[in-house]
Amino acid sequence: MRRGTGVRDIVSAMTRSIAGHIAKTLFAAAMVAWLPFAPASAQAPPDADPAARSFFPSGGDPPTGSTTEPAARPTRAPPATARRFVAPPSRATPRVATPWDTLPAFDAGTAERIDRAIERLSTIVAGGGWPRIEATARLAEGQRTAATESLRGRLEIEGDIPHRAHDRDLWDTDLTEALKRFQLRHGLSPTGAIGNLTRRALGVSAERRLVSLQKSRARIATRQPEGQRQVVVNIPAAMVEAVEDGVVRRRHVAVVGRAERASPEIDARINAINLNPNWTVPPTILREDIAPRMRRDPTYLARQRIRVFEGGREIDPGTVDWSTGRALGLTLRQDPGPHNSLGFVRVAMPNSEAVYLHDTPSRGLFARDERFHSSGCVRVDDVLALSAWLLEGTGNDEASMRRQIETGERRDLRLRQPVATHWIYLTGWATSDGTIHFREDVDGLDGDRPVAAVTPRARPGQNRDAPAVAPVANAPAPSTHEPAPLFESWFGRRP
């Protein structure tokens, strides 16, 4: 009896061992097959690939969560030879064409067009507004419902579909196309289906949209585009337009400041492009983000390849008590490279708020549902293409800039002539074809009070991403929205 039991135990142990080896082999094979398609953060340990762990995943914001490493890890930054200078890729997100592709949001006629839009919305409000779409209504193409009739009436009032007297409760292909137009006007991907963000946009009253137009009009009351070429950043749209002679030559998806560190409304002049810039941590980020992080994780700066200086002399961050006032007086500098929070490109634009346009090592943010993650500066998708447009006439095109980046050396490329840049906050505006566009009031500047006119108010400077590089001459919380389509519109929201 005992002998039989022993044999069974041996056989059972051998079976488990063989099964374990098979499982390990299958797991290894699966990893080999998966690795080429894995995100950078999964392909390398924290210090092996600097690009996989940028200092601020949002390109200026402190990362969330703890990544404390064993105390034995070195506190000094790895040698410069560990860096690889590979120029950033082109556009990270597919672009969706619209009927108003070449029409700027901000030009000499913007104020007059908003005035006409205010008149139109005032008439709609006086007439009782537009039909309310029930939040729980189930709407889909091919259905006949009372909610579909309300949706059709809403889109008719706003001019997205012509009025018709028959089959008003039927969702047909014409209504789908009208909904796509509505989505585009509100910065949503044109899916033609009602998801969370589209439903939310449909739920905004005509009175509230009127306020957006009035407040937007007031904010640009004293502002005008300067020169033949401008770079316009519309903050609520998280969008950058390169405008020349009143025509949009290029549009770029952007990541702008989150509400508590909002991008400011400014006018400045772009005078240079900095390739392979270094980045000096601004005092606010040092105080609010870095010092607390170093108290929890003394190896953090070394992993992010940030050096510490005191009185011009480099010191070991491990010798600093990060809970003292001494820590807040230090200079922290991140060297150029793929890990750098500015990426490989900085667009120099001297201004009192010390903000600027730049590249980012975290380009996945351009495909996010909402792109309000920075600490005040604006990150630009396909920034090399924008830089080439700014540098026209200087002999610096995209190809030459890529070669210069790959040398690993800092290069400062002057523009032939400075180009004006205007950072504006338009939650409601009209393009020259008469189309009225709306965006969410992400920074809460509109308020709820309808007005006939308001005095534009200056927004406090944030200076959160401010660099200490001398100019020449991000992970956000997971989206709570519905599953999104595979592509990302350049308009800034998913439906």
From 186, 358, 373, 422, active-site residue: 358
Count how many residues are written for the chain: 495
DSSP-derived 3-state class of residue 456: coil
428: which strand partners? 438
In contact, 257 and 376? CB cutoff 8 Å:
yes
Active site residue 377: yes
What is the three-state SS of 412-445?
A: EEEEEEEEEEEEECCCEEECCCCCEEECCCCCCC
- Tell me 373's DSSP state: E
For 222-330, strand residue ranges (E) read 229-234, 239-244, 247-257, 266-275, 279-280, 306-310, 313-315
Helix (H) / strand (E) element for 99: namely: none
Q: How far apart are CA 147 and CA 237, in angstroms?
A: 29
Instruction: Calculate ∠ Cα 84-90-92, nearest 5°.
Output: 100
The structure tokens listed for 154 are: 């809403």
Q: Are strands 239-244 and 247-257 parallel, antiparallel or unpaired?
A: antiparallel
Instruction: Calculate ∠ Cα 308-309-315, nearest 5°.
Output: 70
| Distances in whole angstroms, Cα of residue 385 to Cα of each of 42, 85, 181, 190, 388 | 29, 18, 28, 25, 5
In contact, 352 and 461? CB cutoff 8 Å:
yes
From 186, 252, 373, 377, active-site residue: 377
- Name which of 127, 130, 136 is nearest 149 in CA terms: 130
Active site residue 163: no
Q: Which residues contact residue 488 at a Cβ distance below 8 angstroms, ignoring those fewer than 6 apart?
A: 93, 94, 189, 253, 366, 367, 368, 494
Active site residues: 358, 377
